[in-house]
Every structure is written in C-alpha cells, then in structure tokens.
Amino acid sequence: MTREAGVAVIPVSVFYADGRDDRVVRFCFAKQEATLVVAGERLRRL
C-alpha cells in the first residue's frame, strides 16, 4: 500500500506477543486535515 498509494500502514499483529492478528492494519490519524484528505483520495483509487 505504501508503494502503490503512498499511504503507510502497520499490521496490528506487532502489538500482540503471539503476532496472530495479521488481517488488520493500523492507520495513524494524528495528521493535519489536508494530509488525511489526500490519503483518503489515494486509498479510494486502489
């Protein structure tokens, strides 16, 4: 996703000791509104 859309995510499994939840990703929303709008547009194009 980072290469194709320029939006980075991390797997939630890194937060679990057994690394089991590999079907979920985490997005950080601690960004300026304009940055989030651009990210949303990029993700919609996938």
Query: What's the whole-number mean pLDDT along residues 20-45?
Result: 84
Radius of gyration from C-alpha coordinates of the chain: 12
CA angle, residues 4, 6, 8, in degrees to nearest 5 = 105
pTM here? 0.58
Reported confidence tier of residue 34, pLDDT bands at 50, 70, 90: very high
What pLDDT digit, counting tens, does each position of 4-21 carry? 888 887 777 777 777 676
pLDDT at 22 over 80: no
